Amino acid sequence: MKLGTTTIPIAGWVIDPTNPQAGRESRLKAIKKLVAGYGLSAVELTLDFNTVYPHIFNAEFYESVAQLQKELGFVCTVHLPFMWLDCSSINETIRQASVECIRQVLKIIKPLYAETYVLHLWGSTTIQIMNAMEISRHKEQVMQAILAQADRSLEELKKLIYPLNLCVENLEAPSFDFVVPLIEKHNVSVCLDVGHLAYQGGGEIGFLDRLGDRIREVHLHDALHKTSEGNIVDTKDHLALGEGQIDYRAFMQKLIEVGFDEIVILENNSQYDLERSIARVNDYF
């Protein structure tokens, strides 16, 4: 297994758009710190930075990352853009624009060698619609329409990314079982986000049992969820491992038992949380 994280715990989410050079340098320094300082073997690049700040995270920046990759020898993964996008939108214009946005960013990062490409197959609006459909007699019709749009997007994305390197991530809703038929149809892979499962009551071990042969990447972070009469009413994720309710030790042991030899990305948002997470899982790598 290879352990990694994003640049966010070191460089943060906020970037000054008036100082492109500082924005680029902060990310490159973060990569060096993660690999040379913490000894991590993988770095996941968040490509929403390119779509929101294209004048900062341009082709020149990714050429610099590719050079660092050669010098430091780390594995690179990418999280495809998802903010304000929706590859399953019933609005065909939005769906097409979302796929086109991914197409454009793939051109920009061409100098990189990426092992996996993580995809949010639907966006926040579609999640809201699917949740609202729980009490609607039109639920099946709407859900099938969403699935058909997701099908079209995967068909188009397979022409841009080798299918087994394209990893569809489980999100907060709905149950991932909803999309498994498309995963199998298109022969794409899966990114298991352990924290996201908390929104549905957990079940990361069962997820591994069901889909282990398709999982190419894991997003690992802790989560706290409170329930009321069996319903989840509040969930906090992206916590340091050991600070929530996820049994990360049992999960890591399960990864070892099933022979998982892919990438585990720690998804923490602060340097303090990242350091605590690294300390708690280092022995498994």
pLDDT of amino acid 126: 86
pLDDT of amino acid 235: 79
CB 15 within 8 A of CB 25: no
Of the candidates 245, 247, 258, which has an alpha carbon nearest to the alpha carbon of residue 210?
258
* Neighbour count for residue 194 (Cβ, 10 Å): 26
Q: Can you give the residue range of the structural domain that contains 142?
A: 2-284
Domain count, the chain: 1
Separation of alpha carbons 75 and 257, rounded Å: 23
User: In this structure, what CATH number is given to the domain that contains residue 126?
Assistant: 3.20.20.150
Strands 231-239 and 222-228, bridge-based pairing: antiparallel
**Six token digits for residue 51:** 């779509």
CB 166 within 8 A of CB 189: yes
Q: List pLDDT tens digits, range 110-165.
A: 999 999 999 999 998 888 888 776 656 677 888 899 999 999 999 999 999 999 99
Which residue blocks in the chain are alpha helix, DSSP H? Answer: 8-11, 20-32, 48-52, 59-72, 92-108, 124-132, 139-157, 180-186, 194-197, 204-211, 248-257, 271-281
Identity of the amino acid at 31 = I
**Taking the model in full, what pTM does it have?**
0.94
pLDDT of amino acid 227: 63
Q: What angle do CA 142, 146, 148 make, to 5 degrees?
A: 115
Identity of the amino acid at 169 = E
> Can you tell me whether residue 224 is helix, strand or coil?
strand
Q: What residues form DSSP beta bridges with 234?
A: 226
What is residue 10's DSSP assignment? Answer: H
Report the share of the chain in percent with pLDDT over 90.
85
Cis previous bond, 174, omega within 30: yes
* Neighbour count for residue 21 (Cβ, 10 Å): 8
pLDDT of amino acid 137: 67
Q: List pLDDT tens digits, range 35-50.
A: 999 999 999 999 999 9
CB 34 within 8 A of CB 10: yes
Residue 228, H or E segment = strand 222-228
Average pLDDT over the chain, rounded to an integer = 93
